Structure formats: C-alpha cells, structure tokens
Amino acid sequence: MGKFGSIRIQMTKEEKAYTEIGLSIKGAEQSQMFGKPCFKVKGKAFMCFFNGDLVLKLNGDAHAEALSFDGSKLFDPSNKNRPMKEWVQVPISYEKKWAKFAQSAFDYVKSNL
C-alpha cells in the first residue's frame, strides 16, 4: 500500500470479458486508442473497448458476420456519422463470440504488418 493507500477499481462484466480475452491472445499488448483501452499487435490496434462493447478491426466474412448481429454497427467514435469502415462494434449480448472475433482481428492486423 502506498502513501495514499490503495484504490480498488471494480471492472464491469463487459470490461472483465474484454480484458480476459485480450490477455489470452499471445502477442497482444495492452494500450490505448482514442483514450480508450485497446489491445495492439506490434503497435497496431486490433480491438478496443468502447461504451461497454467490444470493437474489432475485421475484414471479409468475419466483418460481415460481426456486423450482422443485432445491435452491432460500424464503429463511429466521434459520433459524427464518420464510421471507421473496417471496425465493428459488437455488444455484450454476443460475448460468447467475442473471443473468436478478437482472434480474427488479431490475425487480420498481424497479417498486414
């Protein structure tokens, strides 16, 4: 315990799921993107956590499948109708699929380095 004591931060269910998935991917590095938590591979972001949702950089079939889920949408961090076309925001209701898509995002970004 430091001079000022310890601060205990309670993670939400969504944050915990996001963090556990990111930490389980070999080669993933914790970082920040737009001031939000993210995971990167060799300095390039492949997933982040935004408003309780998992946001992933995807392409091809994985992108189409993730975008097809109810509540999923293209990621628009500015909320000014300028979505990032490769990035899909997937709600917690699809948490069981998050790990699969996180691995796809990692593999996609890593393959473009």
Please check whether residue 73 lies inside any domain of the structure: yes
Residue 6: inside a domain? no
Is residue 5 in some structural domain?
no
Average pLDDT over residues 80-92: 97
Which pLDDT tens digit goes with each residue over 29-71? 999 998 899 999 999 999 999 999 999 999 999 999 999 999 9
In a domain, 104, yes or no: yes
For the chain, what is the domain count? 1
DSSP state of 106: H
- Residue 22 exposed, middle or buried by CB count within 10 Å (0-12, 13-18, 19+): buried
Is 52 part of any domain? yes
Read off the CATH number of the domain in which 47 is found. 3.30.1460
Neighbours of 106 (CB within 10 A): 22
Length of the chain: 113
Q: What is the pTM of this model?
A: 0.90
> Within a domain: residue 3?
no
Q: Work out the percent of the chain whose per-residue pLDDT is above 70.
A: 93
Distance CA 54, CA 37 (A): 10
Domain residues for the domain of 90 are 13-111
